[in-house]
Structure 1
């Protein structure tokens, strides 16, 4: 069972997200918070597998809460709930070790896929968020945050395959099944990819996969 902490200052949004997650019998919302500070306290108490945080919240916003969660609940994966006008927040969150970015207006199935992916240790970047982020920041700005596209050439063909699936938000288990390799081998490839690309986390690697044209941007 994947245990989720949900934090959003809008009660209706929390209710809607909780209702969507409840349709998956393998996911349970164990706590709900109305702001980032409350989310930190609930994370300490419940130790959820995934914390799903709105970016804009009172007292402590999602970015600050994500940074604090890395300290108080390092085993909790963090995914951010975003809207189309928050691209700059998404860019800042890359440095906070956030595992995923989910769009509030996306298909409900994407929410479940994203939560399952980050719970499994994968990065999940909503395709529409990735497309907008790249379009807004531009190659020169992204190059200061993640390696230049030419570094993709340093990857082996298998590593490129893994990076492509990682960029699509696939979990380690899914990547292993698609490439007919073990999850341990997938983890080893991901570690090598992050090292070769000088990426701090899987989300940065996923964005680089988009920038390099490995992922369909539609």
Structure 2
């Protein structure tokens, strides 16, 4: 049995829908996690395939990117945000979302290479929205970031800021296996993911605020892992290497 860890966010519903309903896959176990847990499971070989934050790719001894799909953005993504009550030049501390790996690395790259600020970093282990005040900002990702963004005077979309800095799209997560898998399963997995993306509107049927969700998966999330995104991944990972 092949164990799969997927992220349980609105933007991943097409992937999960394809895995569960396309009919292409058999003999698998699907686990739904937050991105950081998905990453840990892949690193520790608790699962065979994961939708992993790209920042952890250098930590994998064996890795094979599966499918031509990802969680990416060309411009604003809408759900990976730096939230603050003060502008960038007044920020002294940034709380880092415990859900995240790539977004934490991305905000550090932007602070160093683009915004030219040097805040103190605060790791979080639970909900921390109430701590974002004064000169303390916070990185928040996923569905909950979209729900509370209106509470803050300054909202910096990290994918948009990356595009302004690099003139490139951004990839937050991609499908990776940590061991060699049977070719037939890999082929069927790719078909399942492709089917899910092709049926992304069906995957979000019944969600709260459907029209907003539809706009988000159609216009904010860019699912194709194309050549431009692969180049952007290489650039981003080069910054992490220093």
TM-score, length of structure 2 as denominator length: 0.30
Q: Which has the higher helix share?
A: 1
Higher normalized contact order (CA 8 Å, seq sep 6+, divided by chain length) = 2
TM-score, length of structure 1 as denominator length: 0.32
